[in-house]
Chains A and B, each alone.
Chain A
Amino acid sequence: MPQTLFAKIWEAHLVTKRTDGRDIIYIDRHIMHDLHAPIAMQKIVDSGRTVHRPDLTWSSQDHSVSIRLDRDTNAKDGSPLNQKVRVLAKQFGIRVFDIGDAEQGISHVIGPELGMILPGSTYACPDSHACTIGGLGALAFATGTTELEHVLATQTIAFVRPKTMRVNLTGKLKPGVTAKDVILRIISQLGVDGARGYVVEYAGPVAEALEVEGRLTLCNMSIEWGARSGLIAPDEKTLAWIKGRPYAPVGAQWEAGLEGWREFKTDPGATFDREHTIDCAGLDPQITWGTNPGQVIGISDLVPDPSSVDPAKRDAFLHSLDYMGLTAGQPIAGLAVDVVFIGSCNNARMSDLEEVAKIVRGKKLASGVRALIVPGSSAVKRAAEAKGFDKVFTDAGFQWGSSGCSMCAGGEGIVATKGQRVVSTTNRNFENRQGAGVRTHLVGPAMAAAAAITGKITDVRALAEA
């Protein structure tokens, strides 16, 4: 019987069924982080249990770390959470990707980057953006703290089998249109709860044409429309991207793995519980105007009118307009910008920084704009510095930081102030997330760079032509 990619991964990891009907699914790789790892590890201590597979478990210091460039000389410092991670992880023999370590970075950035995540494998992380790694054709589980404790104790997750959805992305992206624009369009078209209860496979010519890092960006926002996880079938590009990375198998094991990895794709004739097709041929760069990731328009569009929405949703729509300081019918392009943040598990890999460098090289930040670039991992930071990007960015007036989640959710107290307009390459434009009363607009990295240089929301394609 033809199977979906999801079903193949699920069945390859099914240990057994629990008496309550939940499937026990084996977790191949488990990367925790500093917000939740301390609480869950402490609960393991308190309950007298053990960590079943410390050798398949890591913890990265990402959410609460300083992004100061000189922080690496103070490796024993860090937040109270960072310190607690160190103490407890040592007790269990869990490797920490610590401040100052070469491998440190945002958990979902380093998992792929280190070659830990293989096609058809499973991954758990106590973070809703675990789904990032679906870009490699792997299945991610985002857990809370108690579920994290469950993964620590059993190296499995007990899950009700989710439904399946495929989103066929047809057409060919125009130049200057990126994976970020595609996922923003998907969410705006299908709704912020459109994938609730489903694992989504993104397929079709657009998914196939994306480079691997773009696929990670696309899958990263699966949770923003409620999906349990999101993934893209691995192909030769995926395998070439993984090969040679530190934790990837080598030699005979790599060769032995290849055949199986190539089978992790949906068979012709396999059926999904739901299927959608979205034509991306005419897509322009997208930007959020409101306070959820489904409130999205094209860069040339006008802020939508309340009459365009379902009456039941109108109050929330008006609240979003008010919070964002916008009037229906006004152009989004040209709005003055106060802060630009380029970073996060969504859009801070090397290819993203290359896009930014192309735009800002030899230019200066617009007067009055504060801009921050925080690489997704310490490896991305080193690679960017090897190409001189740090100098390109700082010459332009950006602050260049050490890797961490940083301003995505106001980490380390890096926030904007009330009423400020922030253009951000992150994945959540929820109110108050980047500071009380702060107005966040989500875009791709080149669009963020264009906003920083011009001081206003700008179609990066016009800037590139100028």
Chain B
Amino acid sequence: MEPFISLTGSAVPLLLDDVNTDQIAPADRSHGHGADMKATLFSRWKAGDPNFVFNRPQFQEPRILVSRDNFACGSSRESAVWAMTANGIRCIVARTIADIFKENCLRNGMLTIELPADTAKDFEDKVIKADGAKHFTVDLPSQTITCPDGSKIAFDVTPAEKTALLEGLDDIGQTLKHKADIQAFEARIKQEKPWLQEAVARQ
């Protein structure tokens, strides 16, 4: 996985609650062979509204997406993350973010930041003011966002997720270090509850 350490770039404001993954990556565009992940991102909203923020010239190459509550709720489709990374977005800042999407981001080197409402409001105002022209820097080691006016916003991240992102850790590899534990667990269950360790049509 590509590590996340620091990024600098423009921030696109999508200041809505409950933006769902059906909007981020519409199903008809995000599956199948050779799906164009770059074109998938918000394709319905882009097609339906010429004033949609992603249609505006200053937001063609954003690195940070800013939204409000319950961002990326709905379907577990990982294409919602891939559609963003295909467009260069590597960081989501929102008031709250849906759980499955957060997990999917973590496994794709995408930093998710949840800000408390007061801080979020302040940050959103700065993003609106910057209007895509001025850049923000998100720095994971120091856990700060530096705004165009030089002000800094601190954010929380768990130590485990910070390490995973900074080092680009392979999630599967981490679990496979415990392969012997998994096999011991299986052997024990096979004794105690054999029906769980064999799954065949019996009747």
Residues of A within 8 A of B (CB): 15-16, 18-22, 24, 26, 28-29, 35-36, 47, 49, 52, 55-56, 63-64, 79-81, 84, 114, 116, 118, 121, 126-128, 142-147, 149-150, 153-156, 158, 192-193, 196-197, 223, 226, 228, 244-250, 253, 257, 260, 292, 313, 315-316, 409-411, 413, 428, 430-433, 436-437
Q: Indicate whether A192 sits within 8 Å of B195 (C-beta atoms), given known contacts A24-B181, A313-B17, A430-B22.
A: no
State A116–B182 Cα separation when bound (angstroms).
21
Majority secondary structure, A binding face: loop
Contact pick for B100, options A114, A128, A155, CB 8 Å: A128
Question: Is B202 a contact of A192 with CB atoms below 8 Å?
Answer: no
Range class of the B interface residue count: 35 or more
List of A residues within 8 angstroms of B194 by Cβ: 253
Question: Is B175 a contact of A249 with CB atoms below 8 Å?
Answer: no
Q: A250's closest neighbor in chain B, by CB?
A: B202
Question: Is B32 a contact of A80 with CB atoms below 8 Å?
Answer: yes
Question: Is B182 a contact of A158 with CB atoms below 8 Å?
Answer: no
Q: How far is the CB of B117 from chain A (nearest CB, A)?
A: 9
State A253–B202 Cα separation when bound (angstroms).
11
Q: Indicate whether A144 sits within 8 Å of B172 (C-beta atoms), given known contacts A154-B182, A192-B18, A226-B99.
A: no
Question: Is A144 a contact of B76 with CB atoms below 8 Å?
Answer: yes
Q: B17's closest neighbor in chain A, by CB?
A: A316
List of A residues within 8 angstroms of B196 by Cβ: 28, 118, 121
Q: B27's closest neighbor in chain A, by CB?
A: A409
List of A residues within 8 angstroms of B27 by Cβ: 409-411, 433
B78 located at the interface, meaning its Cβ lies under 8 Å from any Cβ of chain A in the complex: yes
List of B residues within 8 angstroms of A313 by Cβ: 17
Residue-wise interface mask of B (175-200) relative to A, using a CB-CB cutoff of 8 A (1 in contact, 0 not): 11111011001100100011111111
Q: Indicate whether A15 sits within 8 Å of B185 (C-beta atoms), given known contacts A147-B104, A149-B172.
A: yes
Contact pick for B195, options A55, A146, A249, A431, CB 8 Å: A249
In addition to A316-B17, A428-B74, 17 A-B residue pairs with Cβ atoms within 8 Å of each other are: A22-B160, A26-B189, A52-B182, A116-B199, A144-B78, A144-B107, A146-B78, A146-B171, A153-B176, A193-B96, A196-B98, A197-B99, A253-B195, A257-B193, A315-B16, A316-B16, A409-B27
Question: Is B202 a contact of A248 with CB atoms below 8 Å?
Answer: yes
Contact pick for A430, options B20, B99, B104, B203, CB 8 Å: B20
List of A residues within 8 angstroms of B98 by Cβ: 193, 196, 226
Q: How far is the CB of A182 from chain B (nearest CB, A)?
A: 21
Q: B76's closest neighbor in chain A, by CB?
A: A128
State A150–B172 Cα separation when bound (angstroms).
5
Contact pick for B107, options A19, A126, A128, A146, CB 8 Å: A146
List of B residues within 8 angstroms of A63 by Cβ: 31
Contact pick for B160, options A21, A64, A257, A410, CB 8 Å: A21
List of B residues within 8 angstroms of A250 by Cβ: 202-203
Q: B104's closest neighbor in chain A, by CB?
A: A144
State A240–B165 Cα separation when bound (angstroms).
47
Q: How far is the CB of B146 from chain A (nearest CB, A)?
A: 27
Question: Is B195 a contact of A257 with CB atoms below 8 Å?
Answer: yes
B129 located at the interface, meaning its Cβ lies under 8 Å from any Cβ of chain A in the complex: no
List 21 contacting pairs A-B, 8 Å CB cutoff, sorted by A. Answer: A20-B174, A21-B158, A26-B189, A29-B199, A114-B201, A118-B195, A128-B75, A146-B78, A146-B104, A153-B175, A155-B186, A156-B175, A158-B171, A196-B96, A245-B203, A247-B202, A253-B195, A409-B27, A428-B20, A430-B23, A436-B47
Question: Is A228 a contact of B99 with CB atoms below 8 Å?
Answer: yes
Q: Name the 8 nearest CB pairs between A and B, nearest first.
A: A20-B160, A144-B78, A144-B104, A193-B70, A249-B195, A146-B107, A145-B78, A128-B76
Question: Is B73 a contact of A249 with CB atoms below 8 Å?
Answer: no
Contact pick for A246, options B18, B104, B185, B201, CB 8 Å: B201
Contact pick for A432, options B26, B31, B181, CB 8 Å: B26
Q: B163's closest neighbor in chain A, by CB?
A: A20
State A149–B103 Cα separation when bound (angstroms).
13
State A52–B199 Cα separation when bound (angstroms).
15
State A26–B28 Cα separation when bound (angstroms).
33
Question: Is B195 a contact of A16 with CB atoms below 8 Å?
Answer: no
List of A residues within 8 angstroms of B99 by Cβ: 196-197, 226, 228
State A371–B202 Cα separation when bound (angstroms).
38
Q: How far is the CB of B54 from chain A (nearest CB, A)?
A: 15
Q: How far is the CB of A190 from chain B (nearest CB, A)?
A: 13
State A209–B203 Cα separation when bound (angstroms).
29
Question: Is A248 a contact of B182 with CB atoms below 8 Å?
Answer: no
Question: Is A154 a contact of B176 with CB atoms below 8 Å?
Answer: yes
B69 located at the interface, meaning its Cβ lies under 8 Å from any Cβ of chain A in the complex: yes
Contact pick for A192, options B70, B108, B164, B189, CB 8 Å: B70
Question: Is A146 a contact of B198 with CB atoms below 8 Å?
Answer: no
List of B residues within 8 angstroms of A55 by Cβ: 198-199
Question: Is A154 a contact of B18 with CB atoms below 8 Å?
Answer: no
Contact pick for A147, options B18, B74, B103, CB 8 Å: B103
